[in-house]
Structure 1
Amino acid sequence: MSADRIMSSQRRPIVQLKDPVVQHEPSDSSTTHSPRSIGNPLSSKINSVLSTSFADGEFQEVLSTVDNSGLTNTPVTRRQLRLQLQQEVIASNGEVVEEFGRVAEQLKHIGSTLERLSQTYREMRAEIVTNRQHVTPILRESSSLIDERQRTDAKSDVLKRFVSRFILSQEEINALTLTSEPIDDKFFLAITKAKAIQQDCELLLGFEDQTLGLELMDQSSKYLNQGFQRLFKWTQREFKENNLETPQMNPSVRRALRLLAERPTLLQSCLEFFSEARERILSDGFYLALTGESSIPNQRTSVKPIEILAHDPLRYVGDMLAWTHSATVGEKESLEVLFITDGDKIAKGLASRSDLEPWLIPDNGTNGPADQDSTLTFNQLVDRNLVGVSRILRQRVEQTIQTNEDIISAYRLANLLGFYRVLFSKLLGVKSVLMDCLQGLESAATRQFRSLIRDHIGTLQSELQQPPHNLEIPAFLEHALSQLTAIMKTFDVSFDESADREADFNHILVEALDPFIAGCETLGKRMAPLHRAIFQINCKFAIIEALQPFNFTQGRIQQLQSSATEDMSILEDSQFTFLCNGAGVNDIFEAVAVMDTTPDTIQDLSSLPAFQPELLGRASRVLDDFLPSAHIDAIHNLNKLQDSLLARQLTESAVTKFCEKFERLEKLLATADSLHEAEGPRRVKLRDLFPRTTAEVRVLLS
């Protein structure tokens, strides 16, 4: 039975017996008492009942218990209510006593169980103490063994790490030294480990006892040297066995070259063999492109030979240079894939050879190992492969230059060689065998060009003896200008890195133009001044017209224009002299040219010989006869000047100058007549003898 049931049984009689008075009905015998004796208890009870609050929890619980008991409100029930409640209380108490009895029995059972547990615990404790006394020495020994094992494991781990770091395994030694083993990833891993051992041995050499470090370094160096020698022989064998038509190698060869870069001497030996093979292949390819024949048996090509397709020297040389340029670009790209990897490691290995081998330092200048870089070294490797091509190219181009007799073709050859020289300088640098070849060929082409010009000038000596009868430009100058125009067009479209193109072209003008200008001046010396000036102007204007379209000849054009201006002044003075002599006023103009304009001087004008009436009248008649055809006659004097507009301009300038002097003469004559009239009437006036006015002269000469 639970504790709640026990507690409810204990509470039940208390609640039911709280107010037993209300359960009894008043008996008939109570009416016999006196009202005072009866009224006091009853009133107290009534007051007690009436004073009970329905809000009281206990009272509500009593009412709820009575209501739940299922009692009916009858007299019998009311009389037996107390008895019934007491019976229920007694029954409940009996149940509680029974429950407590069962609890007591359970407690006794628990007590006996606890006693047995205590006895068992004491026995186990005694046994544990006994066993502990026997096990304690064993545990101490085991603990010491565990510590010893930990120390041994630590030493073993250190030894394993040391062996794996500083000792080559037998498999790795075999991979480095045995020729029967292949060159594969195992070999490269082994040689990498050997190099790492050498570097790590430097740390061991820092301790007091250096014996271990020295022994390990000697051992690793021996195996490493054997590995490099084996790698060197294997690389040479790969170069021999593989097809070198295209310099494409497998990754193992590239890895081998990167490793050999640490031994520049071994790498140089491998690359010398490689360069010799590539030189033979490129030379044979160039010869095949030229002639269609190859030194390799049974090799055929579908490409037509250059010697058959090239019908002129320029095309022939251009095709050879184009093939060389294409081969150089292809060779450089292929070798970049083969060598320029991992930060130019191979090229840097080549460049470092001079540092490791001082006897290879060049003697010319200060360009030693400090000035070399990987790019320059790589370009030298590419250039070395093209030595055979350069040799064939030099022979063929020199032969073409020597057999060429055309001036324009000679210049175009020189210009073409200069263009490719600039291209190859960007590919291989300025110091290379191919660049030296092109520079020499360009110089040879330039010398041939100058030699042909000099020979051409020498053949013109007979033409320089006879000036042209119509004062036009001579045939040799016309031919020279046509050649110069072709040369200037070629130079204009050429690729020139120079900032001053005019200065670069000036030496060509010196060779191709100045001798012909000097020849024209030589011809002009045998002519009259007027004809010489006309001839020189015709020649210079023709030269200016040829030079005008090009911006790199402006300086020479200015020089020619300045020189032509002097010749034009001669023609203008000649035209003015023609007008003065033809008009018969030359003596009159000379007489008044130095005359002052003071009244005394002007008054003496009539006393001058040129102003005597007879001479002045004759001059007036000559002037009248000359003026109607003067302009046409003056223009006819310059009819051999090829620029008719210039002839008119020069004539008009001379006419203007003539009119200015005539106007001054007219004013002097009028002033002299005015002064004489002031002194007294004269028989004949100067203006009457010389009546022409400046306006009339301008009209007639226009």
Structure 2
Amino acid sequence: MASDYFLARKTSGLSLGEGNEPPGSPTSPQALRTNPLSSKVTSVLSASYADPDIKDALRLLDKRNVENNAETRRQLRLDVQKEVIESNGDIIREFGHVAEQLKRIGITIASLNEGCEEMKRHISSAHTETAPVLEDATDLIKQKNHVESKQQLLKAFNAHFVISDDEMSALTSTAEPVDDRFFAVLTRAKQIQTDCEILLGTENQRLGLEVMDQISKNLNSAFQKLYRWIQREFKTLNLENPQISSAIRRALRVLAERPSLFQSCLDFFAEAREHILTDAFYTALTGTSVNGQEDTSVKPIELVAHDPLRYVGDMLAWTHSATVSEREALEVLFISDGDEIAKGIQAGRDSEPWNRIADDGASSSFDGLKALNELVDRDVTGVARVLRQRIGQMIQSHEETIMAYKIANLLNFYRITFSKLLGEESVLLEALSTLEESALRQFRALMRDHVAGLQTETHVPPADLGPPKFLQDGLKQLTAIMKTYETSFTSANTRETGFQPILTEAFDPFIQESKKVAQGLESPQSAIFSINCLLAARTTLAPFDFTTERLSNTQESVEEYARGLIEHQYSFFRNNSALQPLLQALAPLSDTKEDLKSIRSLGTFQPEPLTQASQTLDDFLPSALMDAMENLKHLQSSKLAREITEAAAERFCDDFEQVEDKLIAADEIWEEENDEKEPLRAFFPRTGGEIRVLLS
């Protein structure tokens, strides 16, 4: 219906606007701008249909189902005004009810105000009467809170800074055991001592001094108790079991906070262990304890005293076994708990600054490994004394050269072993070093005595010019020494250098004595004898890698004597083949024509002497090599004899070829001059090739 209304208005508007009205007409644009109605129409037409108010108005019109005519529009206006009036009347009535309710509320509020005023008067009267009581109660509450605070503070102080009688008994009484409760109380006492330092920094210095004085006395008594307890435990401690009880380990860690007591405890333990190990070593040696009781479970080491090497080896082996066992037993203490002990000792040094003066020369940090080595070394000090005495007597009482060196090498082996086990600064290591030096001195003294005895004797070389008996014995002895030295722990870099003094004592004197014997022989027996001796020495030295330099020197000596034998064999070839006179005659001549031509005039190259020389050469050559080898039949190396002979034969062949070449050159010169004489080669027909074949 509303759409119909607007449609009608639009149609009427269009009809009014059809045609061209004059400017003065009421419907002209100028009239519309000044006419209120036109303004209203313009405003209505310019309104947007999307305006919510218009939509609501249109929706209400649709609900009334009215038509768009003049009657309806008039009636609609009246109806709207009527409804507005009725609505205003309803509002006024409702406000009347609200006014009545507000009046009743005002009466109620007034009544409440009167009650409140009454209550204020009663409260003021009560407050005036109770104010003194409340003030007294407040003071009492404050006093109570203050007393309670002091009580809690005193309770806390007693709980923290005061040790109870039961705890004091557990801490200081020797009748109480050293158990977990003791260590717990000790820890608490140390904490109290530390906290007392805080009190000293406050206004309660007197209280802090009193508590610290008392707790220091308690701590000293506790550490004395712990120290005596550890000493008692050490007396019954069985180190054969490689595990030390955890209680002792814990006690030692705590005792380390008193370095003086800790060191004293270790001294006591070392002394006790020294006596125990010394007695055990005595039992192992004799099969009888120090009390005279025979131990059937032990085979006495002294039963093998007739064998010095085994006797010394058994004593050293027992000592090594005991040392290793002792170290393993104590290793748990100083290695696994080393850090704790170091911390304890450092804490003790900090708490006892007066002890630092005595420890100025010592290391400021605790070395668990070093402490372990020192303690084990002190434990075996008694055993080291017995070893030094027994082995020293054994070294002095035996005068066998090889045995002295074997004992020295055995001592060297164990010295190196113990140096790895206990370190370089050890009483046991010092004892072994002294014994090793003593054994080496005995070895050198025996060797010098033996050599001095050889020098006073007259030695005759064997008929076969082989090594003499004294040299064979010396080389046999040297072989035993080198086999012993080969098993030592000497490093590869110093093995040869370390063995040089031994060669000087046990090898060089025999070689020198052999040279003296060789000086009494004629050539070539002297060289053959010397080579045979040197070959035997070379055979002895060759298997060992620490005789390289001496082996090289020996080989050079052999080669030097071999060169002398080559000269001898070479002279044999020249003299027995009749080639020597020819060589001597040709020696002054050069290769000039005049010198070559003068060869025929030499007496040695006349037909008869030259023929005789050729005949002598022919007679010598068939057996020349065998005869030359016969000269070296006593040389014990057939290979060397053959090499010497071959070298001499080669030089002889070279000389013969020189003679041959000059004879041929001289014959060629005479042929050029048409000389009718016989050529020299006719009297001396042998060729160099034939000589080489016969001597090969």
Among candidates 418, 422, 435, match of residue 441 of structure 1: 435
Shift of 1:580: 0.2
Q: 1:370 to 1:256 in 2, by over 3 A?
A: closer
> Is 1:430 paired with 2:414?
no
Question: How far apart are the structure 2 equivalents of 1:619 and 1:129?
Answer: 178
Is residue 2:549 matched to residue 1:555? yes
Matches within 5 A, 1:294-333: 294-296=289-291, 298=293, 300-309=295-304, 312-333=307-328
State the shift of 1:526 in Å: 0.9
The answer to whether structure 1 residue 278 and structure 2 residue 282 are counterparts is no
Matched length: 607
8 Å Cα contact 1:620-1:689 kept in structure 2 = yes
Deviations 1:61-96 (A, max 9, x none): xxxxxxxxxxxxxxxxxxxxxxxxxxxxxxxxxxxx
Kindly provide the CA deviation profile for residues 463-521 of structure 1, in whole angstroms up to 9, marking residues without a partner as x: 55312221101112212222222222222232224532111222221121111111111
Q: Counterpart amino acid of 1:688?
A: A
Q: Which of 220, 230, 234 in structure 1 is aligned with 2:229?
A: 234
> Are the counterparts in 2 of residues 576 and 655 from structure 1 also a CA contact under 8 Å?
yes
Give CA deviations for 1:568-593 in whole Å, capped at 9, x if unaligned.
11111111110000111112223334
The one-letter code sitting in structure 1 at the alignment partner of 2:563 is S
Contact 2:401–2:446 under 8 Å retained in 1: yes
Deviates more, 1:508-517 or 1:201-210: 201-210
2:164 aligned with 1:169 = yes
* Residues 385-440 of structure 1 deviation map (CA, whole Å, 9 limit, x = unaligned): 11111111112211222222332222221111111111111111111110111111
CA contact (8 A) 1:655 1:701 kept: yes
- 1:91-106 alignment to 2 at 5 Å? none
Output the CA distance in 2 between the equivalents of 1:553 and 1:349.
55
Residue type of the partner of 1:697? I
Structure 1 residue 504 corresponds to structure 2 residue 498:
yes
* CA distance in 2: counterparts of 1:675 and 1:355, whole angstroms: 116
The one of 371, 382, 389 aligned to 2:383: 389
Q: Is the 8 A contact 2:335 2:369 kept in 1?
A: no
1:536 — aligned with what? 530
TM-score by length of 1: 0.76
Residues 114-263 of structure 1 aligned to structure 2 (within 5 Å)? 156-207=151-202, 210-240=205-235, 250-263=245-258
With over 3 angstroms needed to count, the CA separation of the structure-2 counterparts of 1:208 and 1:565, relative to structure 1, is farther
- Match of residue 337 from structure 2: 342
Deviations 1:521-551 (A, max 9, x none): 1111111131111111111111111221222
What is the alpha-carbon distance in structure 2 between the residues aligned to residue 133 and residue 616 of structure 1? 180
Quote how far apart the aligned CAs of 1:236 are.
3.0
Deviations 1:572-616 (A, max 9, x none): 111111000011111222333453223232222233443333332
Determine helix, strand or coil for the equivalent of 2:524.
Answer: helix
- Secondary structure of the residue aligned to 2:465 is coil
Aligned to 1:369: 363
Query: How far did residue 361 of structure 1 move?
Result: 6.7
Amino acid at match of 2:571: T
RMSD in angstroms over aligned alpha carbons?
4.2
Q: Among 646, 654, 662, which residue is 2:640 paired with?
A: 646
2:628 maps to which of 626, 630, 634: 634
Distance (Å, rounded) in 1 between the aligned partners of 2:596 and 2:204 = 129
The Cα of 1:268 is off from its aligned counterpart by 2.8
Q: List per-residue Cα deviations over 1:150-180 (Å, max 9, x = no partner).
A: 6655555444444444333333333333344
In 2: Cα distance, 1:125 partner to 1:341 partner: 87
Flag the 1:679–1:200 CA change in 2: closer, same or farther, 3 A: farther
Shift of 1:272: 2.5
Match of 2:286 in 1: 291
CA distance in 2, matches of 1:126, 1:425: 108
1:348-373 per-residue CA deviation (whole Å, 9 max, x = no partner) reads 878999996578679xxxx7435973
Gap change, CA 1:243 and 1:326, over 3 Å in 2 = closer
Amino acid at match of 2:274: E
Q: Say if 2:335 and 2:368, in contact at 8 Å, map to a contact too.
A: no
Identity in percent = 49
Between 504-513 and 424-433, the greater mean CA deviation after superposition: 504-513
Alignment partners' CA distance in 2, 1:348 and 1:605: 107
How far does residue 186 in structure 1 lie from its aligned partner after superposition? 2.9
Taking structure 2 as the reference length, what is the TM-score of the superposition? Answer: 0.76
Distance 1:480-1:689 versus aligned 2 partners, 3 A rule: same
CA distance in 2, matches of 1:537, 1:244: 64
Q: In structure 2, do the counterparts of structure 1 residues 564 and 372 end up closer, same or farther at CA, with 3 Å as the change threshold? A: farther
Kindly provide the amino acid, as one letter, of the partner of residue 575 in structure 1.
Q
Distance in 2, matches of 1:579 and 1:601, equals 26
| Corresponding position: 1:605 with 2:599 | yes
Instruction: Go from structure 1 to structure 2 and tell me whether the alpha carbon gap of 1:179 and 1:700 turns closer, same or farther (over 3 Å shift).
Output: closer
